[in-house]
Structure 1
């Protein structure tokens, strides 16, 4: 994957003068950050043998909750808008955590496939976001809020810095903690993990909560970029997030994958999409290319697993 990525970068450097520029590279990082934060959380979920399709709806709900909460609190005179938006962010994180807990509880309690649970929850949460926002964008936000999604520190986009922080945190958790080893064990063989003393249900619930918290963080970033919250945000993000994780080498069968691989997958997908955009490739063709990449990544991972077991 790294070799293919390098080849794309080399080719694009000669084909497009605007590709290898500081502004374009920072733009790729900025665009990667929105789905990238979720991709690292999704890596934990998929390694644990599950999946979450409701992350896009959480992104939408987060923006709506932040805007509505801050607006209502500021209008009531309880606190200033600057303080109210912080409360809104905290409330959105709490709700995201509860959504993840609910998803995890259902799949561990009733053995319902996480695909079905999160597909249903995705529609429910989108509906809630649309109802409470009455179908209109929520724009009651302080001016400083825009810094989170569109600001820069030493010319580096703030979302990119946040992306790297999330990557570092989950990388450490998955590679250097007992919980990280438990996630791999649960995804590889849940029954063996249970017999070895690992609380399988707890591990899966925590993973489902983690990806929802990452989605809430991404929801804050996207609502900050456009200075509004809308129930339309986050739609279709599931494909980009899961694509990055799978292209990075994480197996949909669970137990196999690396956070670093997801980071490479994010860069690969970000560069590829940017390259196709610069070359004016038809948007529908881009979907075909991404779909082929996912299929190829799944086949490669499956073949590798079959060889290991044989």
Structure 2
């Protein structure tokens, strides 16, 4: 082979590699993860330039702990929103599950029983939500608003409005411990995300969840048992809320019946900022993780530079509106 032929072959390979790279970048730019990832990088860059303490190991661990609880709740919320629904009860479910678990352990119930009972309560509330929405045909926002009040009320009545203290020392492992140097709350968060990633992206259940949000009637005509999968989606949301309740109760070493107020809004914000369409059918569990991280980094950075909490609410509100606008415009282009 002469030098000119070799040059042609080499150039062809370079061109093909370049084409594949451009195609990959184009697909990434059109995907739901692109904008939240760029936003996260920009926020991190701004915080690094504004405070030297942002990138310290202690602060990054603190951010991870703060993000973990909202991110775990947001996993269940992602499933619900992808299916075309909404769940406003997650904050109250987290408080109810956490206080019940604490109360059972104070009553000397074995942890191997107390913790699963707390999870079962979260699942039960989710099943109630799912039944009312899927089988009774009630609007998700009304149903979950009602169960939000019911779950919170049960927690307050059962505890008299007082926190439950005196938990055993070992219980702090779930909220403050570590495994081989990795903080337990972060490990639990990553485990929950990994499981849900497999479920949504690699199982028939995940495909059906996307189908429900994309076109529920078409999914029904295709043979999908719509009511059953709606029921399961809300049960998953309740379970995720109860897992977050376990982590928070362990972190505080106290069962707090008033915990989780407005956590549902933070979870919805993480999902929407992460690129999931608020109308359902489009989104990514990875995007939700990035959205939760973006909110956590933003909260942490604004606190470090001394921004008022009231101003922080305004900033987060603007970001949520921007995320919804971007999501709507992307949906228009893809439709």
TM-score calculated relative to the size of structure 1: 0.94
Contact kept? 2:212, 2:281, Cα under 8 Å: yes
List structure 1 segments (4+ residues) > 4 angstroms apart after TM superposition.
none
Q: What is the DSSP-based 3-state SS (H/G/I as helix, E as strand, rest coil) of the residue aligned with 1:229?
A: coil
Note the C-alpha offset of 1:299. Answer: 1.1
Counterpart pick for 1:103 among 129, 139, 142: 129
1:257-276 CA-to-partner distances (Å, cap 9, x unmatched) read 10011011111111111110
Deviation at 1:307, TM superposition (A): 2.4
Offset, 1:4? 2.6
In structure 1, what is the equivalent of residue 93 of structure 2?
A: 58
**Equivalent of residue 149 in structure 1, options 150, 175, 178:** 175
Aligned match of 1:79: none
Alignment of 1:4-83 (within 5 A): 4-72=39-107, 74=108
Structure 2 distance, partners of 1:241, 1:292, is 16
1:274 and 2:300 equivalent? Answer: yes
Alpha-carbon contact 2:94-2:122 (below 8 Å) kept:
no
Give the CA deviation at 1:70. Answer: 1.9
Task: Name stretches of at least 5 consecutive residues in structure 2 with no aligned partner.
Answer: 1-35
SS at structure 2 position matched to 1:137: coil
Q: Is the 8 A contact 1:71 1:84 kept in 2?
A: no
Q: Aligned-pair RMSD on alpha carbons?
A: 1.1
Separation in structure 2 between the aligned mates of residue 194 and residue 285 of structure 1, nearest angstrom: 45
User: Equivalent residue for 1:80?
Assistant: none
Whether the 8 Å contact between 1:68 and 1:140 is mirrored in structure 2 is no
Alignment of 1:72-151 (within 5 A): 72=107, 74=108, 84-151=110-177
Bigger Cα displacement from structure 2, 4-13 vs 26-35: 4-13
In the alignment, the residues of structure 1 paired with residue 111 and residue 254 of structure 2 have an alpha-carbon distance, to the nearest angstrom, of: 12
Q: Distance in 2 between matches of 1:7 and 1:64?
A: 38
What 5-or-longer segments of structure 1 have no aligned partner? Answer: 75-82
**Does the aligned pair in 1 maintain the 2:76–2:236 contact within 8 Å?**
yes
**3-state DSSP of counterpart to 1:228:** coil
CA drift of 1:2 comes to 1.9
2-structure distance, mates of 1:241, 1:24: 22
Aligned length: 300
Question: What SS does the aligned partner of 2:167 have?
Answer: coil
SS at match of 1:107: helix
Conserved in 2, the CA contact under 8 Å of 1:52 and 1:115? yes
Larger radius of gyration: 2
Between the aligned partners of 2:133 and 2:39, the Cα distance in structure 1 is: 37
Question: What's the counterpart of residue 78 of structure 1?
Answer: none
User: Does 2:256 correspond to 1:221?
Assistant: no
